[in-house]
Structure 1
C-alpha cells in the first residue's frame, strides 16, 4: 500500500467505488432534500433509522446518539452488527458495500428485513458520501472490526493525538482492508458509526438540533415498545440545555402507539384511547436481481400491517401523526388517505343509523357530516408496516404505495364500526358522546356560516339580525372599535351613558354563563348568552373561527370587582379559551379593572377638593396613611363599590371605560399548556383534583379578606 494524497489519480478501483457517490456529492438535494440544517438532520435520521430497523426485527433494544464537541455525531446500537463477510460477486465486505454502494444492503432481496425504515438502501452510503470522514466499528463473532472513509472513499487515516477529518488519509488502491481492532465477549454484537459532515457540502450555519433529536428519539421510543434511546449532547453550545456541561436524556415506552396518543393529547378525553389493528395483502410487481445480477420483474405478494391508536377530546384541535415502518410521513400519503376515508365512512354510517336520537330529522337531516366534523378533537397515531414501501423522494415524507389506502380504510372502518356499535356499557356510553360531539361540530360549522352571513355591519338601508340587547358602536373601523361584555342589565344602563358610542359597543350578559369546559359543544350553542357572544363577535367558533372576521379590535370583559365578578370573568375566559383561542393569542381580549373604593377629600384651606380611586384594600390603606401623615381630611364613610351599577356614568367613564384614564388587563397566552391545565383543573368535569387543590390552599386563606 503506497502513500498517496487525497487528490491522487483515480484507479479502476476508485471509479468502481465512487461512480455512484460522486452523483450524491454533485446533487445532494436529490437524496437529503437540502444542504442546510434540515439536510444535516436527515443524514442523522438515516443512520439512526438503520439502528432502529435492527430493534424492529427484535435484534437490539438500545440505541445511543452522541453529539461530540468536534461537530461529529456518533450512533451506537446493540443490534446484530453489519455483516463483515464478503458479498458474493462484489468481493467486498458487507461493511464496505453498505457504505459505498447505492441501492445495496439488507433492505434489498427481502431476506433480512420484513419492514424497515431505511428501505431505499442508499441512506448509509449517502451519509458517507457527504461526510469528510466516517468511522464505522462492528462487533461480531467476538471481534471488533473497523473501517474508515474519506468523502465516501475507503482507506486509512493517520491520526496523531486527535481524531480529525483533516488527518492525513491514504485511500485503498488494490484491495480493501476491514481491520480487526479488538475483541469482545461472545454474544456481544452491535454497530458504531461516527461521522463528520463535509464542510464542502454543508454551510457553517448548518447544525444538529438537539430539540429535533429529542423529539425524534421520544417519537421512536413510542413506536418501538421496549427500545431505549439515549441522547447525549457534549457540545456545550450557548442556548442549549447542555450549555453548562454534557446533558443526557433517556427514552423508553412500553405501551406503544397508545402511550404516544396519551402524550400528544392535551385536552380532556371524550373517549378512551382505542387501538385498531388489522392487516391486508396486495400483489406488487418489483424488479429483482437474479443469480447473474440481472433485473427482471417478479409478482410479489405483500402483507401490510396496520396499527392505529386514537382518542377524541373535548377540544377542536386535530393532531394526527402518520408513520411507515417508524418513519414519519409529515405530508401523509396513501395510508393517511385510507385512514380519513375509513374513519369518515364509519362515523357517517353510525350517525345515519342514530339520526332520530341525535335529532337529525327534518331540516337538520339534510346536512351531511364532513371530515372536519369528525376530526375535531381527534388525536391519532397511524402506523403501517410493509416491505419495500414506495415513497415520493428519498426524504420519505409521502407514502406512495397505492394499495395501502384500501387496506387501511377497511381496517379503520371495521374496527371503528365495531366500537361504535359495541354493547359494552363503557364503550356504548363513549360512542354516544362521540356521535353527539361530531353532530355538535356539524351544527357549530353551520352556525358559524350563518353567523358570518348575518354579522356583517349593516348600513342605514339594511336591517340587523344581531341580538337586540347589543348596543353597537357607529364606527366601521375594526382596529379602533371595542366591545364591552357587561355583567348585568343594571350596569348596562350606566355603561350606556358612560361609553363613547362612536367606537364602544356594549353587550350585557345575564348572570353566570354556561361552564363550557364541562358542557358539550351542542349545549354551548344552545346557551343564549354564549350564542350571543359568538354571534356579536362575528368570527365563528372552534375550528371555523376566523380572526380576520372579528368585528371589534378589543374585547373587554367588564365585571364587578367581587367574587361573583371574578367567577363570571373566569367563565367568559373559558369560553374564549376553548372556542375563540386565536382572539386571546392575538392579545385582543382584556379585563376591565373597576375600582373598589372612592375616597373624597373636601376642600381644605387653599387646597381644592379631590377624589382618589383605589383598586384593593392594600392600596386603600396606603392612601389613607399618606393622607393622615399630610394632615388631609377625607369624608367618612369611604364609599365601597359593590358593583358597577353603584357608579354613576361619570365615575364609570373616568375609572373604567375612558381610554385616557382607565386600566385594562391584557389576557395573554404565554404558556398555553399550563393555562389549559389550570382551566381543566378549575372548570373541568373531574372534581377530585379540584377538591385536592382547594384543600391544599385552605391554610393560606385569610378569613378577614372574605367580603361578607
Structure 2
C-alpha cells in the first residue's frame, strides 16, 4: 500500500532555499557553464549602471582563495529601508527573488539583468558573499552565508574566508548595514565578493579565464567609454605598485556619464602606458579603441591556482573602446574585406501590454509605449564563413531572436532586389528558376553585430539565449530596408563601388552553390567512369573500394608516368597538375571556378565546394599531395592547401589530406649488402647516416644519388618510398584552431604584403624545416 498523501506531505521552500534546491532553473547547469553564468549576473549589474549613465569603470578581480570580486563606480545599491519589507535595499536586492529597480522605467531604461533574480541567485549559490557600498559619504558592509545574512568573525579581516565562524541573523529581524568607513560624499559604487559554493557546483565545474576576457572585451565594444579591468592575483606579483593601483575603482572623482567618458577616452590611454603596460598586438588595428595591459608572468610558465591550470597570461588586462559595434566588427573580421564597415542605426516606437506595480503593490495590466534603439554594423570579407553576434542591452543572444530575424529579412529582400536590378551586369538569368539568391549565399563571408536596446525585453528562459519580444522584428526590418537598401543599391554616396563588389561576391556564391550541386550529382563513384565530364587526365582506381580509395595529386606529367607504374590501381587514383595552381586566397570565386586545375580537383573529389561541401560525398578518404622535395614542391603544397582550406575545409578537419614525404637521397650499399638501399630525407639525416655507416664499417657507393624530382625515380623506388602503404611515409595535415588557421592563410597567401614580410623577418630565426607542411 502506498503511504498516505496529505497536506503534511507537502514541503514549502521559502526564499533562496528554492534556488539551492533547484539551481538549474536559474543558472541552467551546475557545471562550468553555471559557474560562469553567476559571474555574468554580477558583471551585468555593473554594466547596467554604465548603460544608465552612472558608471565608467568596472574591475573584476580573481583572488588567490578562489573568490571573485566585481567593483564599479556606479550609484551603489540603495542602503535606505524599503517600505514594504522593512529591509535595507542591500538585503532586498541580495535575498529577495524578483526584487530590484528593473521592473519599471525610472532607474533602468535598458538593462541586461531584467528578471530581478541575478544577485540573489548568486548569493544563494555562494558559500559566502560580502558586499560593500559607497553612498552618502560612508562605506556600508554586509555579509551572507548561502544566501542568509549574518556576521562572520574572520581571524584576519584583510583575508576573509567562508570557513570563518558565522552567526546568522535571526529570522524576520531586519539586518542593519555595518558602516565600516567614510568616503567623499561624491564617491559612490558597489563591490561584491563571493565564493562559489562547492556543495552546489559539481567536480567538473571550472573557471575559464579566457571566457572572462572574451566577455569583458565584448562588453567594452558594446558600451563605448566603459573601462573594464581584469586582475588575476594567481599570477606572481610584479612588484610594480602602479599596476596594483589599477585594481581600485577611482573613488576620488565623480562618476562620468558615457558621453563624458567618450570625450576623455583618448587621454585615458596615457596613464596605462606609463604604468608599464605593453599595448596588445591587435590594438594598432583600431586606433584609440582598445587599451590592453599585458604584464607576463615572471617565468612565463603555466600557473596552477584555485581555478585549475591556467595558461600564463597578463596579470592585468584593461579594455576600453570608443567606436562601438563598428570596432567590434573590425575585431571580428578575418580575411580580406570586400566592403567597408556599414552601419545601420535608428529608433522605433512600439506598444506593449505589461503588468505594472500599483501604489499599493498590486499588479495590473497597462499599455506602455516603448522605444527600441537599433545599432548594427556589418561588412563582407572574401571568405565563406559567417560571423554574426547579436545582443540585447549588451546581453549576448547566441540563439538570435526577433532582432536577428528582422535584420536578415531586411538584407535578404534588399539584396535580391539589387540583384534583379543589376541582372545583366551580374550575368544572372532571371528566367532560370535555379538562379535565385538564397540566404546562405548572402551570409557567406558576412561579419555582423546586431544590437538593440529596449526596456524589459522578453527572453526565452533565464539564460537569455533568444530574444522573444515580437515588436522588435518589424522595427529592425524597417530600418534595415531603408538604410541598407540605399547602401546596396549604390544610391548612397560612396557606396556604389562597394555594393558592386558585394553583389558580385554574393552572385558568385550563388553560382558556386548551383555548380556544386550539379557536380555532386554527377561525380558519384557509380557514374564516375561513365561521365564524359570527368577530367581526361584522371587515372582513376577500380570501383568498389570507396572506404580505402586514395587520390594522389601529382606534380607534372613526368612523375605521373612513374606513378602509374608504381601505384596499386585497385585503390590508388592519380591526378596530375601543371606546376603551381591558382592562389585562391587572392582570386575571386569566379576566377577559381574558371581555373582548370582547381575545377578538376573539386570535380574529382566529388563533394562540392564552399558552404555546400558534403564530406560524405567525397570519393576518396585520403587525398595525398605528391610533390617534389624542393622549394617549388613546398609552394605547390601550400597552394593546394589554400584551395582545400578555402573551398573544401572539411577534408582537412576530418583528416583526409596528407602530404607525401619523398626522399632526397639514395645510398647504395656495397660489399655483402650490395643491392640494398637506404633513403634519407634531409641533408642532416644524410650526414648522420653516412657517419653511422662509417662507424659500423658498412661500405657504400661514393656516388650518392640526389633526387631533383619524383620523375627521376623508377617505379620500384617510388612505390617503396612514397606510394606503398607498407613502407611509405605520409604527413597528415591537421587544423586544430580554425580561427588561427584562417589568420595564417590570410597572412601568408593574401594581398597584404607588409604583414607577411614582417612575419617572415620576425620568425626567420625560429624556422623549423620539419614543420614545413604543418
Give the TM-score taking structure 1 as reference length: 0.89
* Aligned position for 2:68: 73
Q: How many residues align?
A: 682
1:633-687 per-position Cα deviation (integer Å, ceiling 9, x unaligned): 6365x54443333333223222321222322222222454444334323321223
- Candidates 54, 59, 63, aligned match of 1:64: 59
Question: Quick check: 1:589 aligned with 2:684?
Answer: no
* Aligned position for 1:169: 167
Question: Quick check: 1:653 aligned with 2:698?
Answer: no
Distance 1:661 1:241, change over 3 A: closer
Question: How far apart, CA to CA, are the structure 2 residues paired with 1:271 and 1:538?
Answer: 32
Distance 1:691 1:364, change over 3 A: farther
1:406-432 per-position Cα deviation (integer Å, ceiling 9, x unaligned): 111222222222222335786322211
Give the TM-score taking structure 2 as reference length: 0.82
- Candidates 357, 361, 370, aligned match of 2:438: 370
* Aligned position for 1:663: 729
Question: How far is the alpha carbon of 1:80 from its aligned partner?
Answer: 0.8
Structure 1 residues not aligned, in runs of 5+:
1-15, 702-708
Question: How far apart, CA to CA, are the structure 2 residues paired with 1:87 and 1:120?
Answer: 19
Distance 1:595 1:363, change over 3 A: farther
Question: Quick check: 1:266 aligned with 2:334?
Answer: yes
Structure 1 segment 236-251 matched on structure 2, within 5 A: 236-237=304-305, 247-251=315-319
1:35-55 per-position Cα deviation (integer Å, ceiling 9, x unaligned): 333222222211111111111
Structure 2 residues not aligned, in runs of 5+:
1-11, 235-303, 768-774
* Aligned position for 2:520: 452
* Aligned position for 2:266: none
Structure 1 segment 288-299 matched on structure 2, within 5 A: 288-299=356-367
* Aligned position for 1:13: none
- Candidates 108, 114, 121, aligned match of 2:116: 121
Question: How far apart, CA to CA, are the structure 2 residues paired with 1:206 and 1:659?
Answer: 45
Distance 1:304 1:658, change over 3 A: same
Distance 1:459 1:213, change over 3 A: closer
Question: How far apart, CA to CA, are the structure 2 residues paired with 1:267 and 1:573?
Answer: 16
- Candidates 550, 555, 558, aligned match of 2:618: 550
Distance 1:432 1:125, change over 3 A: same
Structure 1 segment 186-585 matched on structure 2, within 5 A: 186-234=185-233, 236-237=304-305, 247-361=315-429, 366-422=434-490, 427-458=495-526, 463=531, 465-585=533-653
* Aligned position for 2:708: 642
Question: How far apart, CA to CA, are the structure 1 residues paired with 2:598 and 2:112?
Answer: 49
SS in structure 2 at match of 1:479: helix
Preserved contact between residue 137 and residue 145 of structure 1 (Cα < 8 Å): yes
Question: How far apart, CA to CA, are the structure 1 residues paired with 2:396 and 2:543?
Answer: 50
1:242-263 per-position Cα deviation (integer Å, ceiling 9, x unaligned): 6889933222222221222222
Question: How far apart, CA to CA, are the structure 2 residues paired with 1:169 and 1:83?
Answer: 24
Question: How far is the alpha carbon of 1:598 from its aligned partner?
Answer: 4.2
Distance 1:692 1:28, change over 3 A: closer
Distance 1:246 1:469, change over 3 A: closer
Distance 1:392 1:491, change over 3 A: same
Preserved contact between residue 434 and residue 514 of structure 2 (Cα < 8 Å): no
Question: How far apart, CA to CA, are the structure 2 residues paired with 1:613 and 1:69?
Answer: 56
Question: How far apart, CA to CA, are the structure 2 residues paired with 1:371 and 1:208?
Answer: 37
Supply the RMSD in Å over aligned alpha carbons.
Answer: 2.9
More deviation, 149-158/582-591: 149-158
More deviation, 303-312/453-462: 453-462
More deviation, 436-445/207-216: 207-216
Question: How far is the alpha carbon of 1:503 from its aligned partner?
Answer: 0.8
* Aligned position for 1:5: none
